[in-house]
């Protein structure tokens, strides 16, 4: 199992008020999975992604990556783990404006210390896979929304992560472009055998799921999976 959460909970404190953003979530994902987590605004989607990306820490429960609990890891260990094992795709693309498409995709590889030839091979390979090899020299502001998101997807995969997490990847795209981007993600998921977990409230995105999980008020329920019918029986 590449990713597993056990009774994962997150409570935010705002003044006197406690907000239970996640309430005991059990979730599992395997290497080739393409899971879409579907839920309305405020249901806990981003909170969940931030926890499994090891960007934020749970209030209780744990995140296991490749069978290893992350609770005891130091900040620097978590940073290493993110760098090597996790790729992120955001709603707003988060590209670096002064860098070209090529340089944006290359950036995580500089952090990994790969040599120039290896970097070039990986970057050009992924730009080709997302259909943007010819636009490698353009800056983000010289690209369309869909093209920017494809660059962000190439950047998420270039480190050869085990898990790719996407938060509302179609939110800033029209539905045709959203479909195109999802098609590319699904393709990459199959080719690279990486676990994709996409959170969204967009039905267009959900069409591309191999497995759909619903989130409501910080609790998950499985809609159609190959294995168990429901997880997380109500507490």
Ligand X SMILES: Nc1ncnc2c1ncn2[C@@H]1O[C@H](COP(=O)(O)OP(=O)(O)OP(=O)(O)O)[C@@H](O)[C@H]1O
Give the Cα separation of 87 and 96 in Å (integer).
16
Question: Could you tell me the smallest distance in angstroms from the CB atom of residue 108 to ligand X?
Answer: 24
Please check whether residue 35 is in contact with residue 209, taking contact to mean a CB–CB distance below 8 angstroms: yes
Question: Could you tell me the smallest distance in angstroms from the CB atom of residue 207 to Mg ion?
Answer: 20
Q: Which of residues 194-233 bind ligand X (CB under 6 A)?
A: 201
**Which residues of the shown chain bind Mg ion in the complex (CB under 5 A)?**
45-46
Give the Cα separation of 210 and 198 in Å (integer).
11
Is 12 one of the binding residues for ligand X (CB under 6 A)?
Answer: yes
> Which of 55, 78, 86 has its CA nearest to residue 194?
86
Q: Which is nearer to Mg ion, 126 or 165 (CB)?
A: 165
Given 19, 96, 110, 111, the residue binding ligand X (CB under 6 A): 19
Please check whether residue 20 is in contact with residue 219, taking contact to mean a CB–CB distance below 8 angstroms: no
Q: Which is nearer to ligand X, 12 or 230 (CB)?
A: 12
Given 39, 61, 146, 161, the residue binding ligand X (CB under 6 A): 39
Q: Which does 117 bind (CB under 5 to 8 A by kind): ligand X, Mg ion, none?
A: none
CA-CA distances (angstroms) from residue 126 to 12, 18, 55, 184?
38, 43, 25, 11
Q: Which does 183 bind (CB under 5 to 8 A by kind): ligand X, Mg ion, none?
A: none
Burial 196-210 (b: 16+ CB within 10 A, else e): bbbbbbbebbbebbb
Question: Could you tell me the smallest distance in angstroms from the CB atom of residue 190 to ligand X?
Answer: 27
Binding window for ligand X (CB under 6 A); candidates: 43-51, 57-65, 71-79, 186-194: 43-51
Please check whether residue 47 is in contact with residue 25, taking contact to mean a CB–CB distance below 8 angstroms: no
Burial of 87 (0-12, 13-18, 19+ CB in 10 A): buried
Given 2, 3, 8, 21, the residue binding ligand X (CB under 6 A): 21
Q: Which does 161 bind (CB under 5 to 8 A by kind): Mg ion, ligand X, none?
A: none
Question: Could you tell me the smallest distance in angstroms from the CB atom of residue 22 to ligand X?
Answer: 8
Name the one residue in this structure whose structure tokens are 């929304």.
145
> Which residues of this protein are in contact with ligand X, per CB under 6 A?
12, 14, 19, 21, 39, 41-47, 201
């Amino acid at each position: 199992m590449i990713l597993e959460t056990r009774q994962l909970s997150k409570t935010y404190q705002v003044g006197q008020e406690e907000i239970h953003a996640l309430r005991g979530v059990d979730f599992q994902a395997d290497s080739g999975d393409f899971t879409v987590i579907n839920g309305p605004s405020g249901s806990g989607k981003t909170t969940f992604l931030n926890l499994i990306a090891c960007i934020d820490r749970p209030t209780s429960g744990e995140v296991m990556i490749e069978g290893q609990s992350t609770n005891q890891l130091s900040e620097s260990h978590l940073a290493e783990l993110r760098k090597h094992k996790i790729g992120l795709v955001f709603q707003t693309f988060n590209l670096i404006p002064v860098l070209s498409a090529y340089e944006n995709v290359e950036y995580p590889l500089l952090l990994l210390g790969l040599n120039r030839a290896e970097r070039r091979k990986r970057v050009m390979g992924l730009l080709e896979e997302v259909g943007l090899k010819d636009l490698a020299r353009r800056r983000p502001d010289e690209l369309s929304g869909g093209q920017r998101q494809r660059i962000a997807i190439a950047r998420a995969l270039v480190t050869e992560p085990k898990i790719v997490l996407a938060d509302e990847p179609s939110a800033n795209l029209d539905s045709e472009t959203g479909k195109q981007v999802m098609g590319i993600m699904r393709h990459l998921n199959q080719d690279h055998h990486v676990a994709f977990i996409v959170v969204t409230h967009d039905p267009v995105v959900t069409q591309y799921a191999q497995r759909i999980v619903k989130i409501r008020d910080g609790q998950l329920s499985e809609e159609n999976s190959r294995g168990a019918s429901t997880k997380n029986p109500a507490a």
